[in-house]
Amino acid sequence: MTSKKLGLLVIVTVLVFAALVGYGDFREMGQRLAHFPVSHLVAALALALLNYLLRFFRWAYYLRKLKITAPVAVSGLVFLSGLAMSITPGKAGELLKSYLLRDRAAVPVSVSAPVVIMERITDVVSVVLLGLVGLALLPLPIVVALVAALSITGVALMVVASRHGGRLLSLPILRRWKSSLEASHQGLRLLTVPRVVAVAVALGAVAWFCEGLALWVILSGLDADLSVGRAVSIYAAATLVGAVSAMPGGLVGTEGSMLALLQNSGIARGPASAATLLVRLVTLWFAVMIGVMALVWVNRFKQSQVISTADTEPENSALPGHSTNA
């Protein structure tokens, strides 16, 4: 992300937060935030951390399925570094993890890219499952757009990962990258086995449930009465709207839809605005902060150090033409 784009992102973020504070009334928002229970804030942050932990388990599970191995410290830091890319549209920047694995553990990008792709796809499926009730509260055009996006993604995945999907690699436009794409295609096929998908979606659903629960905890700290199920579905639906908006970090779309859904559920304007602001700080921006710290730390690892560490561990086979250790 260029400095110009980063500066624009900061400006948009400040404007969104200022709009939330203004909409909720500056004085009332100040009082609510100043008196927000620290215990509830800690609980919400802990739930966000649990989300990252469960998603790391899914990351590690995918790596095992592709027989990609790397030192645990490197694998963990690479995964956490991806959180810094949460502010990129659709989290597309998380492909950075594949390049970090290449540079720190000698794993070809084409081999690990399917893991990043499947993370995003199973996230969508998991969040859709959690947001079924919340989706019913959204305007019909938004629901149609979300369903269409999910359907297109699903169909494209089935075609690419199918046995005949490899034929697409013979197209003139793709022939140049055929060898690399063949490795990615094989990886996608391994990760789209029903049992693997079921495990990944289950881990994703529990992970995102934790962040939805964080919204409920924050609402409780603001003395706003809402059921856990409704809070989770609202968080999921708002997250999907933000993803479809293609704005960095889902800005504007996530906040706007969450605020509207909370108010439609009977939450007053002040608590709804405060809850939206706090949950975005606890989830999105907390993740970005951790990701940036991990990215700085992982850059201290040199490939030679990683390989020498890996050489002391048992060898495992990997995808054809590739092998690493962990």
Please give the chain's pLDDT, 326 residues, in tens.
556 666 777 788 888 888 888 887 788 888 888 999 999 999 999 999 999 999 999 999 999 999 998 999 999 999 999 999 988 876 778 889 999 999 988 999 989 999 999 999 899 889 988 887 667 766 677 677 767 777 877 777 777 667 666 555 554 544 455 455 667 778 888 998 989 999 999 999 999 999 999 999 999 999 999 999 999 999 998 998 888 877 888 888 899 999 999 999 999 999 999 999 999 999 999 999 999 999 999 887 655 455 444 444 443 444 544 444 43
Contact 261, 237 (CB under 8 A): yes
Of residues 217, 243, 272, the one with CA closest to residue 20:
272
pTM (2 decimals)?
Answer: 0.83
Domain ranges across the chain:
45-305
Token pair listed for 214:
């964080």
d(CA 249, CA 9): 9
DSSP 313: S
Neighbours of 268 (CB within 10 A): 14
d(CA 128, CA 49): 21
Residues forming beta bridges with residue 325, ordered by sequence position: 315
Neighbours of 48 (CB within 10 A): 22
DSSP 24: T
